[in-house]
Chains A and B, each alone.
Chain A
Amino acid sequence: AQTVTQSQPEMSVQEAETVTLSCTYDTSENNYYLFWYKQPPSRQMILVIRQEAYKQQNATENRFSVNFQKAAKSFSLKISDSQLGDTAMYFCAFMKLQSYSGGGADGLTFGKGTHLIIQP
């Protein structure tokens, strides 16, 4: 079974600052994806970024980037130029792939989340 750990229950930064959220995971699998999801007060889960384990290059999406360290089983999220709208719960999630070439997946395993507050 996989486990995902987010060690920062809450973080607070000033608007326009850069913030890094931590995530570590434990698995014996070699073929998997990692995700960061954002959950604002509306409670809608929104995909932020995805990283495929077979890729060495870190994923980026505009102001969001990850630092994926496969050997260390670490997957941190960096938010640059933080904005008030970034205030939300952020969840790290793990997905094991059923087969390398055939696609398909089980469900996601989530961490407990980090509550990020962007102060004006």
Chain B
Amino acid sequence: DGGITQSPKYLFRKEGQNVTLSCEQNLNHDAMYWYRQDPGQGLRLIYYSQIVNDFQKGDIAEGYSVSREKKESFPLTVTSAQKNPTAFYLCASSEWGPYQETQYFGPGTRLLVL
């Protein structure tokens, strides 16, 4: 089945620790995105990547880092510099081309701070 997978479903972080959230897609999409969702809020863009080995900061990139070494994978690292990391994190992907930019989402990862 084609789709977007995120792991783990739940992740716990200790103070000062870096953690990495996984996002994989087998839709052959060129573009991938990371969003953060806080309670009662819409999603906010963290980072996005339109092609392999290239990515751009979104609206709230501070305290996060990403890599895009393979087309199907776009991991997000939440660093110790992110002081309020507790949130729901959603990964999305889309094709690249006219009229094909609709984003489809993975099931999400819930990050909690111990």
Contact = CB atoms under 8 A, between A and B. Distances in A.
Contacts of B31: 104-105
B74 interface: no
Interface stretch (B17-25, B63-71, B75-83, B99-107): B99-107
Contacts of B108: 43-44
Range of interface residues on A (Cβ < 8 Å): 20 to 34
A25 interface: no
A35 B43 contact: no
B107 A103 contact: no
Interface in A82-120: 91, 93, 95, 97, 101-113
A35 B102 contact: yes
Contacts, number: 70
Contacts of A103: 96-101
Which of A35, A42, A102, A108: most chain B Cβ within 10 A? A108
B107 A108 contact: no
B38 to A, nearest CB: 10
Interface string B86-99: 00101010101111
B105 A106 contact: no
Contacts of B102: 33, 35, 47, 50
A104 B42 contact: no
B45 interface: yes
A15 interface: no
B44 interface: yes
A52 B100 CA distance: 11
Contacts of B2: none
Nearest to A89: B42
B89 to A, nearest CB: 11
A97 B101 contact: yes
A50 to B, nearest CB: 6
A104 B30 CA distance: 10
Interface of A: 4, 33, 35, 37, 42-47, 50, 52, 91, 93, 95, 97, 101-113
